[in-house]
Chains A and B, each alone.
Chain A
Amino acid sequence: MKPTLSTREACGLTLMNMGSQENIVVLNADLSGSTQTSKFANKYPDRFFNVGCAEQNLVGTAAGLAISGKITFASSFAMFLMRAWEQIRNTVAHDNLNVKLLGSHSGLTDSKDGGSHQCLEDIALMRCLPNMSILSPVDAIETEQLITNEISRNGPAYIRLNRISTPTINDNEYKSTFGKSVKLVEGDDITLIATGTMVSKAIQASEILKSKNISAQVINIHTIKPIDKNAIIKCAKDTGHIITIEEHNIYGGLGSSISEILSENYPVIMKIMGVNDRFGESGEYNHLIQKFCLTHNDIVKNAETLTRGNNEHLQT
């Protein structure tokens, strides 16, 4: 798994490459360089609108463009888009508008900027909005496909992107399908369900677990909403143990979503791995991942504990 483009860079390139479609417009709130929407801006300046540091107006203006039939991408850091949550709710989601929100620098990936810039709450905030879809691509290839699909799919979406370069998980043959999970590793004893940056760590963990005679299957969730319910129930039935891993608060995110499905359909003991209900802080990205117990070794430890039925020793 060699590191390649970050998902924000892949997004910027995709928008630039798809920009010849004349009804695409892109908006940004004074972060076009960081979010990579500057690539579109340079090629199609007439269809790029910088609204300045004004996220509420970013979302409202995007809504107006979408009402007029434009395929509208509105971009900022994930954290600052959440400042306009009420505008996203009352205008974009309520009216089911064709606005695609691009939340860059999500999770802990804006590591050195610290807690004010890191976003560990966005999945929770977007998940409770009717009409809103949530996409969380794992690598550059998947980012390109999901964004290209969003251009032709009508309706609001929140697309969760990262600052750091991300290992390439998929090959050029790969085809993503909106709303469908992807099984990356086969296994019988436990299922590791991950999204975004945590998928590569789940794959690493599965390799180590294999050497310990624990067969772990790995599922990539690129569409967090609508979630692939049937596939998740099947994972629980097939392996009996579930670990979810996300760069997000343990409350309200991918893990919550999966536990909601399983508790109603096929309850199994699961472990929700994420940031344990706290804010982020400044530091090297890998340091933060270690500090918040989100390394592949942390996944291995939790998987060992779960499969041995020794649930009291799950890491908190």
Chain B
Amino acid sequence: MHLEENAKIIRRHIINMLYNAESGHTGGSLSCVDILVALYFNIMNHTQNDKFILSKGHAAPALYATLAELDYFPINKLETLRKNDGYLQGHPVSTIPGVIASSGSLGQGLSIANGIALASKLDKNSSRIFVLLGDGECDEGQIWEAAMLSAHYKLDNLVAIVDRNQLQIDGKTEDIMCLEPFAEKWQSFGWHVFKTNGNNINEIICTLNKAKNVVNKPTVIIANTIKGKGVSFCEGVLAFHGTPPNKEETLKALEELK
């Protein structure tokens, strides 16, 4: 099956999950689907114990749908998102198969990934550690404390991917708290920086493969994405940051994602 088809299936799951749950984060879940597909369906080597942490935990629906498609748990569990006594919590918790660290409070995933990358170096295993950050999340000071550590300890087994969709809950990232010059910030913190189209699966895979050749420093991929990608009326629309689609919107979205 084409990876684009996987991405479509996952986007359909996301729309259904959010509609069922009557709450959740539509825009940031849809924007990162292609990144997750590239990682989980192509790049990550599950036998060598590659690891992924979703630091932008509000994109939980995208992660859950990906994990369900890979049989970490049954597809029908997706219906339990945010429900009473539900299997799937609003933000990732580590009791869910495939989730190695709980998240939801922003800014913490890169530190956790650092710890896992350090342990991996100590144990001399060859696993790669991937962490997905939101761009708004990079307002958090802890991201930059962690960024210094990754470079200081030369964690070339670590790849951070920033879902650069340009929007955070209160508005445009550059209006709320200016991130630019973003690539230069990471560079000056000692990271190898790639930029890629974060909604083009082949480009993401190509960039992630290039990152394998980076030695003695961590890699960050600034993945330029469109918030709400794949559903025309959600794309670039701030209102869909933390709002689920209603019935009419759900039907329309599913039609577009056929």
Measuring CB to CB, which residues of chain A are less than 8 angstroms from any residue of chain B? 25, 46-47, 49, 51-52, 54, 56-57, 59-70, 72, 86-87, 90-91, 94-95
Contact = CB atoms under 8 A, between A and B. Distances in A.
Contact of A61 (B94, B104, B118, B120): B118
A60 B102 contact: no
Given A64-B112, A91-B101, A57 B142 contact: yes
Nearest to B141: A56
Instruction: Select the residue from A46, A57, A69 with max chain B CB neighbours within 10 A.
Output: A57
Nearest to A69: B119
B246 to A, nearest CB: 31
Nearest to B120: A68
B238 interface: no
Nearest to B140: A56
Contacts of B116: 64-65, 67-68
A67 B101 contact: yes
Interface string B90-110: 000110000011101101101
Contact of A63 (B101, B120, B123, B141): B101
Contacts of A60: 108, 110-112, 114-115, 142, 146
Task: Label chain A's interface by main secondary structure.
Answer: helix
B182 interface: no
Interface residues of B, number: 30
B149 interface: yes
B153 interface: yes
Contact of B119 (A59, A70, A91): A70
Contact of A87 (B93, B104, B108, B152): B108
Contacts of A54: 142, 145, 148-149
Contacts of A49: 118, 153
Given A67-B112, A87-B142, 19 more contacts: A49-B153, A51-B145, A54-B142, A56-B107, A56-B111, A57-B114, A57-B142, A60-B110, A61-B111, A61-B112, A61-B146, A63-B111, A64-B111, A64-B113, A64-B114, A64-B119, A68-B116, A91-B108, A95-B101
Contacts, number: 98
B1 interface: no
A57 B111 CA distance: 5
A12 to B, nearest CB: 21
Interface string B26-49: 000000000000000000000000
B114 A61 contact: yes
A63 B142 contact: no
Contacts of B110: 60
A86 B102 CA distance: 13
A25 B119 CA distance: 9
Given A52-B148, A95-B94, A63 B115 contact: yes
B123 to A, nearest CB: 7
A66 B122 contact: no
A83 B223 CA distance: 32
A69 B152 CA distance: 23
Contacts of B100: 67
B117 interface: yes
A64 B117 contact: yes
Given A47-B122, A91-B108, A56 B115 contact: no
Contacts of A63: 101, 111-112, 115
Contacts of B111: 56-57, 59-61, 63-64, 87
A67 B115 contact: yes
9 contacts: A57-B111, A59-B111, A60-B146, A61-B114, A64-B115, A64-B116, A64-B117, A65-B115, A68-B120
B118 A64 contact: yes
4 nearest A-B residue pairs (beta carbon): A64-B115, A60-B111, A68-B119, A57-B145
Contacts of B122: 25, 46-47, 70
